[in-house]
């Protein structure tokens, strides 16, 4: 077990190096020779030394912690994002402190205030919103804030998103090209810019093909609400022949209702398209056609924005919009095949 009373000075003496060399060995990203590193690590192991991270953060004024506020983890997209964000930040010597917020909350100011009390070096808000007033407060203290998978109408906020409008438009183009004429939409949470932009793009794509939205219901990015939306849209004599669902998490719930409650065949009776391309979309039980968000690129851009702001001390607002890709699988009919 590590002995908290062992000091870096003792490690330096045993290793035959300076105290500053010991500090550099245990500071991620610092420059140190391999020979020095080996000597210091061997001495530290012999003495049972571990650096006091909290004391170091008090001295440097940097906690090397990034606060992450995430709306919910039921959606497979977010556990994957948390894992990648944690791994990428660890590579540059940072760790993640996670706070959960209600998915339908339009304001997470209290949670962000709590994060600021922990003296985090930056904040990532994953699919939650932040008021402009608190954003200004964060900026006044120099605390970088990045919205992940959300945008904001305030141009002073940094964000990383997929091109959700283009994604919705691409889905509409594809469904119309298959010959569908009764195309429905199951929406996500109304307060989310992702929902707003995906639906706007979808409607624009339908209009470009000379169509209008056949039916619509709210799923609120929630499994149970999506099931209810599916029952509402499809338990009628004149049902949709295709449905675009605002994310994969809801799409799985919709597919289960269509097949196992209503006895409909996918894609023979109805085509289903999601958004995100989470791992279960590739499972044979769903085989879901969906619009892929490149989570790795989104995380990399988020880390880059944070590190640039932390290192330069300037939180310059940047809105990163990344391309996605329509991924075609078996939940949509083939070209030339009609129900």
Write the pLDDT tens digit of every residue in 274-321: 999 999 999 999 999 999 999 999 999 999 999 999 888 776 789 999
Neighbours of 333 (CB within 10 A): 22
Q: Give SS3 for 95.
A: strand
- pLDDT tens for 172-220 read 999 999 999 999 999 998 888 999 999 999 999 999 999 999 999 999 9
227 has pLDDT over 60: yes
336 falls in which pLDDT band (50, 70, 90)?
low
Each domain of the chain, given as residue ranges in start order, spans 8-51, 62-162+294-324, 164-292
DSSP state letter for 120: -
**What is the SS3 assignment for 180?**
coil
What pLDDT does residue 313 have? 78
- Nearest-angstrom CA–CA distance, 2 and 48: 4
Per-residue pLDDT at 1 exceeds 50: no
Residues 195, 189: contact at Cβ < 8 Å? yes
Q: What is the pTM of this model?
A: 0.81
Alpha carbon of residue 301 to chain centroid: 11
What is the C-alpha to C-alpha distance for residues 182 and 242, in angstroms, rounded to an integer? 6
What is the pLDDT confidence band of residue 107, given thresholds at 50, 70 and 90?
A: low
pLDDT at 320: 95
Mean pLDDT of 139-143: 74
CA gap 100, 72 in Å, rounded: 7
- The fraction of the chain above a pLDDT of 90, given in percent, is 53
- Rounded Cα–Cα distance for residues 204 and 309 (Å): 36
CATH topology identical between 62-162+294-324 and 164-292: yes
Q: Is 80 exceeded by the pLDDT of residue 146? A: yes
For 243, the token pair is 């449905």
Region of poorest pLDDT, from 34-48, 92-106, 221-235: 92-106
What mean pLDDT do residues 80-103 have?
87
Which pLDDT score is estimated for 316? 79
pLDDT value at position 30?
73
> Highest mean pLDDT range out of 17-26, 109-118, 305-314?
305-314
- Is the bond preceding 267 in cis, omega lying within 30 degrees of 0? yes
- Residue 125 in tokens: 């808000």
pLDDT at 228 over 70: yes
Q: Would the pLDDT of 59 be above 60?
A: no
> Which residues have a Cβ under 8 Å from the Cβ of 332 and sit 6 or more positions away?
174, 175, 178, 242, 267, 271, 272, 273, 289
CB 209 within 8 A of CB 181: no
Residue 102 confidence class, pLDDT cut points 50, 70, 90: low
Q: Would you state the structure tokens that stand for residue 12, as one six-digit string?
A: 């330096």
Q: What is the pLDDT of residue 204?
A: 98
Q: Which fold has domain 62-162+294-324?
A: Rossmann fold (3.40.50)
CB atoms within 10 A of CB 304: 16
Q: Are the C-beta atoms of residues 240 and 233 closer than 8 Å to each other?
A: yes
Nearest Cα to Cα of residue 115 among 139, 92, 96: 96
Q: 164-292: which CATH architecture?
A: 3-Layer(aba) Sandwich (3.40)
- Give residue 52's pLDDT band: very low, low, confident or very high (50, 70, 90): low
Residue 130 has pLDDT above 80, yes or no: no
């Amino acid at each position: 077990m590590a002995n908290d009373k062992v000091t870096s000075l003792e490690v330096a003496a045993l290793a035959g190096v300076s105290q500053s060399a010991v500090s550099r060995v245990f500071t991620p990203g610092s420059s140190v020779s391999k020979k020095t590193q080996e000597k210091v690590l061997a001495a530290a192991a012999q003495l049972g030394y571990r650096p006091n991270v909290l004391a170091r953060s008090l001295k440097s004024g940097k906690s090397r912690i990034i606060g992450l506020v995430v709306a919910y983890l039921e959606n497979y997209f977010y556990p994957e994002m948390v894992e990648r964000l944690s791994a990428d930040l660890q590579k540059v010597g940072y760790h993640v402190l996670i706070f959960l917020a209600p998915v339908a909350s339009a304001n997470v100011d209290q949670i962000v205030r709590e994060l600021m009390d922990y003296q985090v070096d930056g904040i990532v808000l994953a699919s939650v919103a932040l008021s402009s007033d608190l954003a200004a407060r964060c900026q006044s203290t120099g605390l970088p804030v990045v919205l992940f998978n959300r945008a904001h109408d305030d141009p002073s906020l940094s964000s990383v998103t997929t091109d959700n409008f283009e994604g919705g438009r691409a889905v509409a183009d594809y469904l119309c090209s298959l010959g569908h004429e009764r195309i429905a939409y199951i929406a996500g949470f109304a307060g989310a810019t992702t929902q707003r932009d995906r639906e706007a793009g979808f409607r624009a794509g339908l209009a470009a093909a000379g169509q209008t939205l056949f039916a619509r219901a709210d799923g609120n990015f929630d499994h149970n609400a999506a099931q209810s939306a599916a029952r509402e849209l499809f338990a009628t004599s004149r049902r949709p022949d295709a449905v675009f669902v605002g994310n994969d998490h809801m799409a799985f719930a919709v597919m289960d209702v269509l097949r196992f409650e209503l006895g409909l065949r996918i894609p023979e009776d109805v085509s289903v398209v999601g958004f995100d391309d989470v791992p279960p979309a590739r499972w044979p039980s769903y085989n879901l056609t969906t619009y892929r968000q490149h989570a790795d690129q989104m995380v990399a851009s988020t880390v880059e924005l944070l590190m640039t702001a932390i290192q330069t001390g300037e939180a310059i607002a940047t809105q990163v919009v990344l391309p996605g890709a329509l991924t075609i699988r078996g939940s949509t009919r083939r070209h030339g095949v009609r129900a």
